[in-house]
Chain A
Amino acid sequence: MLNGSAEADGRKDGSMRKVFKGPTEALAGLLRDDMMIMCGGFGLCGIPDELIDAVQASGVKGLTIVSNNAGIDGVGLGKLLETRQVAKMISSYVGENKEFARQYLGGELEIEFNPQGTLAERIRAGGAGIPAFFTKTGFGTKVAEGKETRQFDGEDYVMERGLFADIALVHAHTGDTEGNLRYRMTARNFNPMMATAAKVTIAQVENLVQPGEIDPDTIHTPGIFVKRIIAVNTGEKRIEQRTTRKRNDATPAAAAGGGTH
């Protein structure tokens, strides 16, 4: 489809060769069984939900999905799990997802747990042409089993491999027709690295603008990494853990802590 006519696959004209009409058109010709797909987002924040829906609708199966988390039941990657399209997840934390737990405990779904920073760096390295790197993370633990280790300056390190996928699906706040992207707040997360680490990256953006409308100094992902782009309705974004304080709360720093996943 990459060489098809612009009209046939929904692209608008020659100056907008990266722009597609919708998620189905943007994925046309790219999907096949048993492929590896990178999927941006952290929890439900910054996930390419419309592109995931289109993957589900296509019916491809046996997928290896690289994503920090696995969505929740019925949302995000939770949808692909419901339809049994995923064979393997490469993730750091799979959270609260009953369907995921059922398939995993039943041996239907394989999971490769990566420490979150190792996962992020494997993707960054893959996109930057670095086949492997050494990290202190996980030395002496299950994560290091079967992997090469080495000492540098008296410290022990584990060798980890770069990751490069068939396609990457990312979500950005703003994108231009050249594929330049800007993310918003913590919806950035894994999206910038994933955009670099696949043969074809498809971006869904909340605001699709003309070249020049994004200040070049503020572009997070240069357009070279993005082959296809679509505009999506923002609709109502989902919140996984809604936490608030009362207006008369006198303890401003209250419980703004973090987590390990």
Chain B
Amino acid sequence: MAWTREQMAARAAKELEDGFYVNLGIGIPTLVSNYIPEGMSVQLQSENGMLGMGPFPYEGEEDPDLINAGKQTITALPTTSYFSSSDSFGMIRGGHINLSILGAMQVAQNGDLANWMIPGKMVKGMGGAMDLVAGVKRVVVVMEHVAKNKDGTESAKLLKECDLPLTGTHVVDLVITDLGVFTIDKKGDGGMTLIELADGVSEEDIRAKTEGDYTVALK
């Protein structure tokens, strides 16, 4: 047993607070927008230059001038504002965005993050990921607990040290996987702490699939 993608997104949504400005990455993080609690005001930022992202348009109402950072057609809201990409990253780098939720290839126990390149494979670029993790106050990673390799084996993704090229150093505050939730003391020496187990998952399951060191303080 473990959490599904939807359950991981729902768990990540518990990190939202009323009045937050939030940037969501591609994949599971995008699903978090489905779990914003009723009555809570959360404005989603799109780093190409928009705050207050609305839902996808109805068929036939797509506007080529209105897209999100994944280049998908979206809509505006009454709260929407548009701005340049330099203003957008001013918001990000300047610490004005409360929360960034994004995916990862690897996370280390000190909060280092790798999510943009695999040596030997075609590199598409880091986009805005390096700016987001360096500038946003709180960084939450949502990812599968292990990577499934082509030969059927599994590789740990929560590591003592990342071996893939880094996106940022000492940047991750919280990791939500399909097996559980970890906090990371990214600026101090408190390391990584397991605080929650997914439904039907035991501490032993986690230990078998985690390379990095962590303490256990289940809530």
Residues of A within 8 A of B (CB): 42-46, 68, 91-95, 101, 104-105, 113, 115-118, 120-121, 123-124, 135-143, 173, 183-193, 220, 237-247, 249, 251-261
Contacts and interface: CB of A to CB of B under 8 A. Distances in A.
State which size class the interface on B falls in.
35 or more
Nearest to A245: B56
Contacts of B125: 91-94, 113, 261
Nearest to B25: A260
A93 B82 contact: no
Given A117-B92, A117-B128, A255 B62 contact: no
Interface of B: 23-26, 29-34, 36, 44-50, 53-76, 82-86, 88-89, 92-93, 102, 112, 115, 122-132, 134-135, 165-169
Contacts of B128: 92, 115-117, 260-261
Contacts, number: 261
Contact of A141 (B56, B127, B169): B169
A184 B23 CA distance: 22
Contacts of B127: 92-93, 115-116, 259-261
A261 B135 CA distance: 16
| Most A Cβ at <10 Å: residue of B71, B72, B122, B132 | B71
A247 B58 contact: yes
Contact of A117 (B26, B33, B56, B89): B89
B45 to A, nearest CB: 7
B41 to A, nearest CB: 12
B68 A92 contact: no
Contacts of A124: 86
B67 A186 contact: yes
A244 B73 contact: yes
Contacts of B66: 185-186
A39 to B, nearest CB: 13
B131 A118 contact: yes
Nearest to A158: B134
A68 B86 CA distance: 12
B55 A256 contact: yes
A21 to B, nearest CB: 26
A249 B86 CA distance: 35
